Amino acid sequence: MKELHPITKAIRLQTERTLEKEHSTPLFLTSSFVYDSAEDMGAAFSDDTLDVNIYSRFSNPTVDEFIAKIAALENAEDGVATGTGMAAIFGVFMTFLKQGDHIISASAVFGSTHTILTKYMPKWGIDYSYFDMNKPESIEALIKPSTKMLYVETPSNPGLDIIDIDFLASLCKPRNILLVVDNCFATPAVQQPINFGADLVLHSATKFIDGQGRVLGGVIVGKKELVKELYLFIRNTGPSLSPFNAWVLSKSLETLHIRMDKHASNALTLAKKLEGHAKISVVKYPFLETHPQYAIAKKQMSSGGGILTFELKGGLDSGRKFLNALEMISMTNNLGDSRSIASHPASTTHSKLTEEERQAVGITPGLIRISVGLEYVDDIADDILQALEKS
Ligand SMILES: Cc1ncc(COP(=O)(O)O)c(C=O)c1O
């Protein structure tokens, strides 16, 4: 058969059909695997080159199917799956950084990533420097001989800042610095950072990859030699993805592209409707021309994705009133669901940051993040508009 398009692979890549002749992919809900002989069992442990399943902390066919689909979509050679997005991020840091190393990270990163960088890494002698996503020209001066990794989210959570991955790769490649991109907000349906020079791409699969707010998961993809190191770390320390969650996530990938198209068209319609509203000072969405990095978004993303933010002129108090007035949209801190979600980062996901740190990454008291769902777009807009009236 000819080489299939990645979109088709996300639908058609499947664990080998069993004797039951199932159509949907099977779920191998098993902790361990059996051997035909004592010799085979011995070989499974002694010969690292054998491609056999031993124990589901190491590998599992359902988890491998999920990894293969993500790797195909991200144009990566291989991958490793983890129980959560944070386990993927922590696994990358722990595998590739050691005492005395230095990491440069965007300051606009997810709250728990910030906690790992600022609270735990210094405890183990790993130094970090932050840069402002809006000042990429400041990165070069932060590079030291001990710098081993450059870490970004693009678009960032929740500020939707965007950075030129191509430019970052041009800084990293000549210096052997690993470029790691958290691609959670865009998903591989919208952006493939490896095509712009990223070394490793990771996801909280909990978000758009699941797409229906059911299970937690994480995944990291990249070159085979890097993935091998990561695999050994995950296999030995244990944050492996459960086969059940992998099955749910793998089935979700069959609809990823069609879902992301609809999330993005709903989000763009909504962003345009909200622009200029009397209660709102600014609407931010990657594919609005007013976005500060609109040109970069257009270059590296195929749509603006499913998240938009806006700033309420009335600040914290208006933010609370707005959330309390919503009738349909869910008030929860997850994102990337078929159901629209409103959240208030300053009082939830980023509450551990100091006021100064929040200001530095654009999390103002009145910032509202909308994860735009798949509902009929006028119903989403009407709920936001009526809540704005009461805010
Ligand atoms: C950009 C980003 N990265 C990582 C994570 C962490 O993922 P998880 O909750 O699956 O551990 C999140 C969660 O919200 C996120 O938004």
Given ligand 1 and candidates 115, 200, 206, 333, which is best to mutate, with the most ligand atoms within 8 Å of its CB?
A: 206
CA pseudo-torsion sign 344, 345, 349, 351: negative
Whether the model pTM is above 0.75: yes
Given ligand 1 and candidates 82, 105, 112, 116, which is best to mutate, with the most ligand atoms within 8 Å of its CB?
A: 112
Query: What's the confidence (pLDDT) of residue 51?
Result: 86
Closest CA to 323 of 347, 343, 348, 349: 343
CATH of 6-253, one of 3.40.710.10, 3.10.25.10, 3.40.640.10, 3.20.20.80: 3.40.640.10
Query: What's the confidence (pLDDT) of residue 48?
Result: 78
Rounded CA-CA distance 146/180 in Å is 17
Least confident of 4-18, 233-247, 337-351, 361-375: 337-351
200-204 and 218-222 strand pairing: antiparallel
Query: What's the confidence (pLDDT) of residue 47?
Result: 83
Q: How many percent of the chain have pLDDT more than 90?
A: 89
Domain ranges (residues) in the chain:
6-253, 256-390
Phi, psi of 363 (to 5 degrees): -95, 90
pLDDT at 345 over 90: no
Residues near 49 by Cβ (< 8 Å), separated by ≥ 6? none
- Of residues 320 and 99, the one with the higher pLDDT is 99
Closest CA to 241 of 24, 25, 57: 57
116 CB less than 6 Å from ligand 1?
Answer: no
Closest CA to 95 of 237, 240, 242, 241: 237
pLDDT at 182 over 80: yes
Of all protein residues, whose CA lies closest to atom 7 belonging to ligand 1? Answer: 85
Using one digit for the tens of pLDDT, what is the confidence trace for 360-388?
Answer: 778 899 999 999 999 999 999 999 999 99
Dihedral, 163, 165, 171, 176 alpha carbons, nearest 10: 130
Dihedral, 261, 265, 267, 271 alpha carbons, nearest 10: 150
Query: What's the confidence (pLDDT) of residue 270?
Result: 98
Using one digit for the tens of pLDDT, what is the confidence trace for 148-164?
Answer: 999 999 999 989 999 99
Rounded CA-CA distance 161/362 in Å is 9
**Quick check: 107 and 189 in contact, CB under 8 A?**
no
How far from the centroid of its chain's Cα atoms is residue 182's Cα?
5
User: Please, which pLDDT band fits residue 49 given cuts at 50, 70 and 90?
Assistant: confident
pLDDT at 255 over 80: yes
Mean pLDDT of all residues in 137-145? 98
Query: What's the confidence (pLDDT) of residue 359?
Result: 82
> What's the CA angle centered on 255, arms 249 and 257, to 5 degrees?
115
Mean pLDDT of all residues in 166-173? 98
pLDDT at 61 over 90: yes
Rounded CA-CA distance 269/193 in Å is 26
pLDDT at 102 over 80: yes
pLDDT at 215 over 80: yes
Query: What's the confidence (pLDDT) of residue 107?
Result: 94
How far from the centroid of its chain's Cα atoms is residue 231's Cα?
19
Query: What's the confidence (pLDDT) of residue 58?
Result: 95
84 CB less than 6 Å from ligand 1?
Answer: yes
**Mutual angle of helices 256-274 and 377-390, in 10-degree steps:** 40
110 CB less than 6 Å from ligand 1?
Answer: yes
151 CB less than 6 Å from ligand 1?
Answer: no
Mean pLDDT, the chain, as a whole number?
Answer: 96
Secondary structure in 3-state letters for 69-106: HHHHHHCCCEEEEECCHHHHHHHHHHHHCCCCCEEEEE
Per CATH, the architecture of 256-390 is what? Alpha-Beta Complex (3.90)
CA 181 / ligand 1 centre spacing (Å): 13
HSE, CB side, 13 Å, CA atoms: give it for residue 77: 10
Q: Is 374 helix (H, G, I), strand (E, B) or coil?
A: coil
